[in-house]
Structure 1
Amino acid sequence: MSRILYSGTRNASSWAFRAWLALREQGIAFEERIVDIRKPQRFENLARIAVFSPPAAVPVLVDDDVVIHDSLAIMEYASELGASPLLPADIRDRARARALLAWVHSGLSGLCGRLSFESAFYPQRRRMTAQEQAEAGRILAACQQALVHSGGPYLCGALSLADLAFVPVLWRLFAHDVDASAWPHAVDWSERLLSRPTVREWLHEAEVLPPVYLDDYEP
């Protein structure tokens, strides 16, 4: 059996982070091949990925002759492949989890594009704008509502793909000093997630890398 995850530069690949987390949390064995997606080498490196994956992007999971080229698809595959699925058994709770997953996957109304994953590792980070703080508040309020509904400690009670999808989002927000004081349950949940051993392993490796500076970010 051959199972290979083509991942990305640790401090520049939030989508690969999500796929990697799902596989690791499920205890699934895989070989990881990190693709350097920094410029200018990213173009040549992703062209190699295009040979077997139509989107020419990471992450990609190649499990024998199956090529899964989307982070959400990889997460759901990991959920089904592992011993304990990372989606709720109840149909309504599962729908809630999938709705949160879809929201993250669609970019959370563009907030993550403006507060890039790369910028969360910069030694100097800019202040969030009033609009960004308002959008962050809407995200945290929705997560708090889910936590109250489920009773915690995670969005759907037990750890799920919805929680893992939010990890890079939370890292961005708290790195930019989000004011989360109005949502204490969401703060506790964030701290619980960001302290998980798998999350700390990825972030530790990311924090020691040279920052990946983006042209449209000004501290």
Structure 2
Amino acid sequence: MSLVLYTGTRNASSWALRAWLALREQGIAFEERIVDIRRPQRHDNLARIAQFSPPAAVPVLVDGAHVIFDSLAIMEYASELGATPLLPADIHQRARARSLLAWVHSGLSGICARLSFESSFYPKRRAMTADEVEQSDRLLQVWEQTLTDSGGPWLFGALSLADLAFVPVIQRIISHRPDFGGFPLAQEWCLRLMARPAVAEWMDDARNLPVVVLDDYLP
């Protein structure tokens, strides 16, 4: 089997990160082709992706004649290709994990919308606004309760797609708020997840790139 994963610029492509992590955590061999999605080259580069992928976006996984062009679809594909599925076996836990995945995929209902993935790599980062702290607290509470219910060390006991899907979100939050205060289980889980070799590899590469400046970062 020969798989090709088209990803994006390391410090700007949080969706590609999710797909990449799922494949890496499953030990699946693939060729990676990095597409520079920074402006001004973004338009031309994604136009070439449009030749074989309808959304003209990354990530895209090409498996022979098959093209999977959505990050969540690629994650589930990786889960099924690997020896151990990255979703809980229990039907209720699996539904809960998929609910969290869907929440991430739909933008987390606007939580911390202006704390972009790109901004987490800025050398000087602003303080979170009171609203952003409140919104991140809401997410931290979800993680804390889920970890309490499962007993850890991951959201549903064993590592799952739900854990991996939150990696870019964790990066955004911990870069602006290193102390989680009253959410000890969530903080330990975040640190544990960010220390995984594949996660650390991506983040190290991202930190070595020129920052991608976004105009709407300041409060």
Aligned pairs for 1:125-164 within 5 A: 125-164=125-164
Runs of 4+ in structure 1 over 4 Å off: none
| Residue in structure 1 matched with residue 109 of structure 2 by the alignment | 109
* Structure 2 residue matching 1:114: 3-state secondary structure: coil
Q: Is the 8 A contact 2:144 2:183 kept in 1?
A: yes
* Structure 2 residue matching 1:89: 3-state secondary structure: coil
Which sits farther off after the overlay, 55-64 or 175-184? 175-184
Q: Is the 8 A contact 1:12 1:117 kept in 2?
A: yes
| Whole-Å separation in 2 of the counterparts to 1:34 and 1:49 | 11
Shift in Å at residue 110 of structure 1? 1.5
| Whole-Å separation in 2 of the counterparts to 1:179 and 1:24 | 29
Q: Deviations over 1:83-111 (max 9, x none)?
A: 00000101011011101111111111113
Q: Which amino acid aligns with 1:218?
A: L
Q: 2:54 matched to 1:54?
A: yes
Q: Deviations over 1:132-182 (max 9, x none)?
A: 111100001001110011010000000000000011100100101255111
Q: Is the 8 A contact 2:112 2:135 kept in 1?
A: no
| Whole-Å separation in 2 of the counterparts to 1:208 and 1:124 | 15
| Residue in structure 2 matched with residue 66 of structure 1 by the alignment | 66
Q: Could you tell me the TM-score, scaled by structure 1's length?
A: 0.98
CA RMSD of aligned residues (A): 1.0
Q: Which amino acid aligns with 1:114?
A: R
| Residue in structure 2 matched with residue 26 of structure 1 by the alignment | 26
| Whole-Å separation in 2 of the counterparts to 1:156 and 1:218 | 36
* Structure 2 residue matching 1:7: 3-state secondary structure: strand
Shift in Å at residue 215 of structure 1? 1.4
Q: Which amino acid aligns with 2:136?
A: A
Q: Which amino acid aligns with 1:51?
A: Q
Aligned pairs for 1:123-202 within 5 A: 123-177=123-177, 179-202=179-202
Q: Deviations over 1:25-53 (max 9, x none)?
A: 00000000000000000000000000000
Q: Is the 8 A contact 2:112 2:132 kept in 1?
A: no
| Whole-Å separation in 2 of the counterparts to 1:156 and 1:112 | 24
| Whole-Å separation in 1 of the counterparts to 2:25 and 2:160 | 10
Q: Which amino acid aligns with 1:190?
A: C
Shift in Å at residue 2 of structure 1? 2.6
Q: 2:200 matched to 1:214?
A: no
Shift in Å at residue 113 of structure 1? 3.1
| Whole-Å separation in 1 of the counterparts to 2:87 and 2:205 | 28
Q: Is the 8 A contact 1:87 1:94 kept in 2?
A: yes
Q: Is the 8 A contact 1:4 1:63 kept in 2?
A: yes
Change (3 A) 1:180 1:202: same
Q: Is the 8 A contact 1:136 1:178 kept in 2?
A: no
| Whole-Å separation in 1 of the counterparts to 2:190 and 2:28 | 24
Identity %: 70
Change (3 A) 1:112 1:61: farther
The aligned length equals 219
| Residue in structure 1 matched with residue 98 of structure 2 by the alignment | 98
Q: Is the 8 A contact 1:112 1:169 kept in 2?
A: no
| Whole-Å separation in 1 of the counterparts to 2:93 and 2:42 | 39
Q: Is the 8 A contact 2:112 2:136 kept in 1?
A: no
| Whole-Å separation in 2 of the counterparts to 1:2 and 1:167 | 27
* Structure 1 residue matching 2:111: 3-state secondary structure: helix
Shift in Å at residue 114 of structure 1? 1.1
